[in-house]
Amino acid sequence: MAKKRLNLRATMNKNKTEESPLPEKVVLKKSSKNLEDVKEKVEALHQKETKITTKTSKKKTNVSNKKKESIKEENVRITIDLPKSLHKKLKLYAVMNEITIREYVLGILDKSLKNR
């Protein structure tokens, strides 16, 4: 079977459009910032954040305190296999109590191991 020659060159030339020229390059001016002003603004923002208080439940604050404690300590990853039904119950419980599965499991382990 002979190869059929396609005259693509004519089509390519016909569809070829001239590229539009790029716009002129804009030179950006770097502004020098006063580090003292930046530090003052950052400190002011942090002070505002500490003044803002939000209503949280006791469970949420306990969990956040435990979370802060766990940040100080080095973490180790473990993996467990769960049946789908148990995982679903665990996830629903966590969502209903507005906590993560990790926070819930850490809380249970912490309580269980402190009693021993």
Domain boundaries, the chain: 55-116
Q: How far apart are CA 81 and CA 63, in angstroms?
A: 24
> Treating both helix axes as pointing N-terminal to C-terminal, what angle do 101-114 and 84-96 enclose, rounded to 10 degrees?
90
Tell me the per-residue pLDDT of 54-89, one tens digit each, with 9 for 90 and over. 444 444 555 555 555 555 778 889 999 999 999 999
Q: How far apart are CA 103 and CA 94, in angstroms?
A: 9
Task: Name which of 21, 104, 91 is nearest 63 in CA terms.
Answer: 104
What's the predicted TM-score (pTM) here? 0.38
